[in-house]
């Protein structure tokens, strides 16, 4: 198994099933379009054509006032972040640590980008409370304005890798 950018001619998107229709549909119908338009990058953990899991990342900014007090920087109104837009593991591989592997790869990708551009941290939109709990174990904290949006400062990403 290896991590690589989604390649529609190589990776079998149609048989991926994480149990969530929205996440399945994104991979099957929209992931490649987003990549082609340079809106995001979609990384897959794959065994040849078989997709074990995937995540998408893109750039975003967050208003300073939405951040938890401990992560605020007072000099700027908005701060640059990486958005972890989607993260899913196929049902046959869930509960085996692949979600952790995907997020650690996302951290490493973020670290590589941060060597070239300014990134204050990572943002994720948890689909539900169970997902929020998954992200909490990596140190993500809820934003003030949006309870399902969580933030992780880059310093915590650096420590994790």
Per the structure, the count of domains in the chain is 1
Residues of the domain holding 145: 2-160
Reply yes or no on whether the pLDDT at 68 is more than 80: no
Reply yes or no on whether the pLDDT at 155 is more than 80: yes
Is 0.85 surpassed by the pTM of this model?
yes
Supply the residues annotated as catalytic: 135
Q: What is the pLDDT of residues 28-37, one digit of tens each?
A: 999 999 999 9
Longest Cα–Cα distance of the chain, Å, equals 48
Backbone angles phi, psi at 18, to 5 degrees: -95, -5
**Sign of the C-alpha dihedral computed for residues 84, 138, 140 and 156 taken in this order:** negative
Q: According to the model, what pLDDT value does residue 71 have?
A: 60
121 vs 59, 61, 126, 157, CA distance in Å?
A: 10, 10, 16, 8
CATH code for the domain in which residue 84 is found: 3.40.630.30
Q: According to the model, what pLDDT value does residue 49 have?
A: 96
Q: What is the pLDDT of residues 101-136, one digit of tens each?
A: 999 999 999 999 999 999 999 999 998 888 899 999
């Amino acid at each position: 198994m290896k991590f690589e950018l989604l390649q529609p001619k190589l990776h079998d998107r149609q048989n991926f099933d994480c149990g969530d229709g929205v996440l399945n549909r994104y991979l099957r119908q929209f992931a490649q379009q987003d990549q082609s338009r340079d809106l995001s990058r979609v990384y897959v953990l794959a065994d040849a054509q078989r997709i074990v899991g995937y995540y998408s990342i893109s750039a975003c900014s967050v208003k300073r006032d939405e951040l938890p007090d401990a992560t605020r920087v007072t000099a700027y109104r908005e701060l640059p972040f990486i958005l972890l837009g989607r993260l899913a593991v196929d049902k046959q591989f869930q509960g085996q640590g692949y979600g952790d592997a995907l997020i650690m790869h996302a951290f490493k990708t973020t670290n590589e980008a941060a060597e070239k551009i300014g990134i204050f941290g990572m943002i994720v939109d948890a689909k539900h409370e169970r997902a929020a709990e998954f992200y909490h174990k990596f140190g993500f904290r809820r934003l003030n304005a949006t309870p399902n949006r969580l933030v992780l400062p880059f310093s915590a990403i650096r420590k994790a890798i």
